[in-house]
Amino acid sequence: MKLKLLLSVFLLAGIGFAQAQGLPTNPEPGKCYVKCITKDTFENIQERIQVQPEYTTLEVVPATYKTVEERVLVKEESKRLTYIPAVYEDVEVSYIKREAGSRLRVIPASFGTSSQTIQVQPKTSGWEYKVLEDCPSINKDECVAACFVEYPSQSRNVQVTTLASDASTTSEAIAEQTTTYTKRVVKTPARIEETVIPAEYKTITRQVVDTPASTRSVTVPAQYNSVTKTVLKTKGGITTWEEVACELLEPTAIPVFYETASARLTPESKKVIDDRLLPILNEKPVNIEILSHTDSRGNDDYNQSLSQQRANSVVNYLVSKGVSRSRLSAKGYGETRLTNRCANGVDCTQSQHAENRRTEFRILNN
């Protein structure tokens, strides 16, 4: 009784959850359902748009020229000046080489001798005191006598030179001296002779403007291009539950292969995608994920990059078939999800390594 009650509770709870989520009301046992939100659908239309407007350009019409002849002066008239030097002649010119004058002769002074008496000391007189000898008095002043004494003058004879005649001069006449010198004098003065050099002319050809440069307008027509325009065809956003095979919710391997060490799909692989993946995407509005794996041989980073490129190649091919890129995702795992023991450094056979080189897909909720 309790078991039946518990089953009834679970059943009622499941029905309530299903109704809240909008799940199918009568699901089939063993079936799986994914929640799908319908995407906006688009279509491509061709539209002709003007990419360049009509406009006017101006073209230059170059000037035209004509050739004319013209006589031009290439050397102006000038004059040549010729210098004619002066002509000289020699003449004798007399001159006084030494003027007349006089010569003076000096007659020196003459002298004589004589004697002359010269007083060397004049006559003098005066009182002189004299102490008497044998003075009986103790006071000597009492024995002093005053005498008035006179001394005669003294003279002597001195020899002197006397001037007999003073110095004088006598004059002698000197005759004038004359001579001559040669002088060059101008016989014919220098002069300038002028000769006219005539002008020179030359005939030249030159180009002159015949028609001036001008412009003309040219209309350049508008240009149009046809472009593909993506427009909304059907608005999405409607939630539905789509029945799918339960095994497709887990990664499922498909025989997709690539060219050696490349992400380029082989023709056989494209056919597999057309047969296995396109029908699912065309029949149901589900999303799928592409998973790509490599074996452990080679550089880890290189394997990771190569696996991502290969997953992208599958997505790009599906897009080229008209599948919206928003429904697709690509993930490369490199050698991180090996299916056997063949990790780095492990000796394995070719077939064992081939097990790890695989491409998988799975259906996703959206």
pLDDT digits (tens, 9 = 90+) for 192-236: 988 999 999 999 999 999 899 888 888 889 888 888 777 766 665
Of 6, 29, 25, residue with least CA distance to 17? 25
DSSP assigned state of 221: P
Q: Which position has the higher pLDDT, 169 or 305?
A: 305
Mean pLDDT of the chain: 81
Which of these three, 117, 146, 174, is where a domain ends?
Answer: 174
> What was the pLDDT predicted at 19?
47
Contact 54, 222 (CB under 8 A): yes
The total number of structural domains that make up the chain: 2
Residues 169, 262: one domain? no
Per mean pLDDT, which range of 37-41, 86-90, 250-254 is the poorest?
37-41
Structure tokens at 159: 């020899």
Q: pLDDT, tens digit, for every residue of 13-55? A: 444 444 445 566 666 666 676 666 555 566 678 888 888 898 8
Q: Is residue 133 part of a domain?
A: yes
Residue 308: pLDDT band (50, 70, 90) is very high
CA distances (Å), origin 303, targets 9, 27, 334, 356:
52, 43, 5, 12
> What was the pLDDT predicted at 245?
66
Residues 256, 349: one domain? yes
The model's pTM? 0.42
CA-CA distance, 132 to 142, in Å (whole number)? 9
Three state DSSP letters for 141-203:
HHHEEEEEEEECCEEEEEEEEEEEECCEEEEEEECCEEEEEEEEEEEECCEEEEEEECCEEEE
Structure tokens at 235: 């608005």
Of 168, 135, 131, 163, residue with least CA distance to 147? 131
Q: Is residue 235 part of a domain?
A: no
CA-CA distance, 129 to 270, in Å (whole number)? 186
Q: pLDDT, tens digit, for every residue of 129-174? A: 676 667 766 776 667 666 777 878 888 888 888 888 888 888 888 8
Contact 261, 336 (CB under 8 A): no
Residue 164, domain extent: 101-174
* Residues forming a β-bridge with 226: 48
- CATH number for the domain including 306? 3.30.1330.60
Q: Is residue 272 part of a domain?
A: yes
Which of these three, 174, 208, 226, is where a domain ends?
Answer: 174
**Mean pLDDT calculated for residue range 66-71:** 90
Contact 244, 28 (CB under 8 A): no
Q: pLDDT, tens digit, for every residue of 71-87? A: 999 899 999 999 999 99
> What was the pLDDT predicted at 203?
92
Which of these three, 117, 148, 174, is where a domain ends?
Answer: 174
Residues 262, 359: one domain? yes
> What was the pLDDT predicted at 346?
92
